[in-house]
Amino acid sequence: MESKSKNSELQLFLILSSIFIASLISCNLIFQKFFTIEIWLPFIGSYSFEQSVGLLPYPITFLVTDIISEIYGQKRANQVVTSGLIASIFMLLIVTIANAVQATVWSPVNNEIFNSVFGLSAAAVGASMLAYLFAQFVDVRLFQTINKW
């Protein structure tokens, strides 16, 4: 029976880790599209601002690391955060290589379109990853500290 419990525990960890990494990667792939958010604020009224669609999956990364931290501990949550960083770097490498390869004449997506959609600048993704690492490691530590109280 214990073996079945261990398998279920591992399966949940893998599912949560996959959701985390997929959310993180999608943030970095879709960040170039923007939309307008309109909110109502007391004393100010209606306020609208533009935001990247990359923010949509980003909160999921925090929710998932908090769940992993609660169930498996800080060390495992930090391992998932590090895995997300490695996956993001790998994704950036693949996109960079794909951008460098010339499209065929008949390709439905030519070089210019591909570059405008996926031409991620290393500086933008690098800055995003630094902010991500800092925020995730702080979140995991804060969650553990609050949990101990």
For the segment 87-106, what is each residue's pLDDT rounded down to a tens digit? 988 988 998 899 999 999 99
Cα pseudo-dihedral 11, 12, 13, 19, rounded to 10: 110
Contact 99, 115 (CB under 8 A): yes
Asked whether 98 and 57 are in contact (CB, 8 A), the reply is no
What's the token pair of residue 73?
A: 């501990």
Taken as a whole, the chain contains a residue count of 149
Structural domain of 96? 2-148
Q: What sign results for the dihedral spanned by CA atoms 104, 107, 113, 118? A: negative
**Domain count of the fold of the chain:** 1
Name the percent of the chain lying above pLDDT 90: 39
Gyration radius of the chain's alpha carbons: 19
Tokens found for residue 32: 């170039």
Each residue of 59-85: pLDDT tens digit?
899 899 989 999 999 899 989 989 998
Residue 15 corresponds to which tokens in the numbers above?
């599912």
The pTM of this model reads 0.81
